[in-house]
Chain A
Amino acid sequence: AQKVTQAQTEISVVEKEDVTLDCVYETRDTTYYLFWYKQPPSGELVFLIRRNSFDEQNEISGRYSWNFQKSTSSFNFTITASQVVDSAVYFCALSEAWGRGGSEKLVFGKGMKLTVNP
């Protein structure tokens, strides 16, 4: 069965601090996708990144970076120089691969609430 674990439930930092959000996953599939979503207080999920299991390259997008390590089944997310606008709940999610004739459901971690204080 698939499982996503976000061990941290809540983190509070001061603006400009770096913060890393941990995500550990379990799956029996060799082909799968990993996602990060941001959910601000408005509730709407904001897509941040999708990574397939064959692509272990780390990615950087502005102040955001992701570290994917299959050896430890982790897909961690780092925000550099955090800002108040980064305050939100962040979800890591996992799905089995497509290509079998249809879409696959997402399994979400429990989420991590980040509060960035000015």
Chain B
Amino acid sequence: GAVVSQHPSWVICKSGTSVKIECRSLDFQATTMFWYRQFPKQSLMLMATSNEGSKATYEQGVEKDKFLINHASLTLSTLTVTSAHPEDSSFYICSANPYDDNGGEQYFGPGTRLTVT
């Protein structure tokens, strides 16, 4: 089956620093990947849609300059949280859909837990 990995699985950083999270599709290619954020005891909220070879599409209210997304290849998308602050502490989850799959199933990564101190 399709596998999506994320790295790191958890990270603790100091306020003001930047953190990069990687999302990889291990056994399939994905032209589109999605980044979600989940605060404790809340639902998943889509942050942005990452498109290979083009700019990401951000949801309303998500700062594109703070959450930098790069989708440089068909198997890798990265999310960089710039100048992180404690309020950015959250669980970040990516998902991917195989580019030749019109069936609609998205495969989710295991998530990255970010704690900003």
Contact = CB atoms under 8 A, between A and B. Distances in A.
Contacts, number: 60
Interface stretch (A17-25, A40-48, A61-69, A75-83): A40-48
Contact of B104 (A37, A97, A108): A97
Interface residues of A, number: 25
A105 B43 contact: no
A44 B111 contact: yes
A108 B43 contact: yes
B25 to A, nearest CB: 12
Nearest to B44: A108
A36 interface: no
Contact of A105 (B41, B49, B103, B108): B49
B28 interface: no
Contacts of A47: 105, 107-108
B103 A98 contact: yes
Contacts of A109: 43
19 contacts: A33-B104, A37-B108, A43-B111, A45-B111, A47-B105, A50-B103, A50-B105, A91-B44, A97-B104, A98-B102, A98-B103, A102-B31, A102-B51, A103-B34, A103-B49, A105-B46, A106-B44, A109-B43, A110-B42
